[in-house]
Amino acid sequence: MIRKTVGGVVEATEGVKDNMTFMLGGFGLCGIPENSIAELVKKNIKGLTCISNNAGVDDFGLGLLLQQKQIKKMVSSYVGENDEFERQMLSGELDVELIPQGTLAERCKAAQGGFPAFYTPAGYGTEVAEGKETREFNGKMYILEKAFDADFAFVKAWKGDEAGNLIFKGTARNFNPCMCGAAKITVAEVEELVPAGTLDPDHVHIPGIFVQRIFKGERYEKRIEQRTVRKKEQE
């Protein structure tokens, strides 16, 4: 059995360099690779292109990399919760590519499956389609979107085994699965790491063949991006 385990986050992030392109799983602050992001901040690498659904908040998630001016370009679907992101974008310090959320997922899946590009109707007739090839299918117009080309994918799962098989929990099963295997190297951090053969194959969401490195993460904060509660009813 091939073992994908590494000693920790330091070993898991070996080889990261300036000007690389990273995929980072998560949705809002749910299911983000907290340990990997913290280590990237410590390494102080610069000029990064980050592909993620969003850019975290000012003091957590990818917002930590933005604070240190480590990101030169963000490829995202939603970025409305980060004041520093807004400041850098409006000042021209940060290059931003905003794309439809489904297109973001499919560009990850295309890279995962080895497809160079695909056609989608999303964004046709808008700024999203500018400079892209278009084609008509069955009377409907589509634009050609290319698969992502990333150096590392950093994902977070609930449970994994030494062979790299992963199980995601709840909403954390968002962009994490489609980013596995979509980069040259996929790094998975998990809350619980078990011996190979322990997981029920029927419960595995991502097989280990899509993962190159796996480690047990530590001290997950699991913040809530926006806490919404019901008002207390009057007695």
Digit-by-digit pLDDT tens for the chain (235 residues) are 789 999 999 999 999 999 999 999 999 889 999 999 999 999 999 999 999 999 888 889 999 999 999 999 999 998 877 889 889 999 999 999 999 999 999 999 999 999 999 999 999 999 999 999 999 999 999 999 999 999 999 999 999 999 999 999 998 899 999 999 999 999 999 999 999 999 999 999 999 999 999 999 988 877 777 778 887 776 5
Torsion of CA 73, 34, 180, 151, to 10 degrees: 40
pLDDT, tens digit (0-9, with 9 covering 90-100), for 42-60: 999 999 999 999 988 888 9
Specify the pLDDT at position 232. Answer: 74
Q: What is the pLDDT of residues 82-109, one digit of tens each?
A: 889 889 999 999 999 999 999 999 999 9
CATH code linked to domain 9-115+149-216: 3.40.1080.10
Residue 51 CA to its chain's centroid (Å):
6
Beta bridge partners, 80, equal: none
Number of C-beta neighbours around residue 166 at 10 A: 27
> Would you tell me how many other CB atoms lie within 10 Å of the CB of residue 133?
12
pLDDT at residue number 135: 97
Question: For the whole model, what pTM was predicted?
Answer: 0.92
pLDDT, position 129? 95
Residue-level pLDDT at 235: 56
| Length reported for the chain | 235
- Per-domain boundaries in the chain: 9-115+149-216
Selection from 79, 52, 206, 46 nearest residue 190 by Cα:
206
Which residues, listed in sequence order, are joined to residue 160 by a DSSP beta bridge? 166, 193
Ramachandran sector of residue 26 (left: φ over 0; alpha: ψ -120 to 50; beta: rest): left
Please tell me the predicted confidence (pLDDT) of residue 234.
Answer: 64
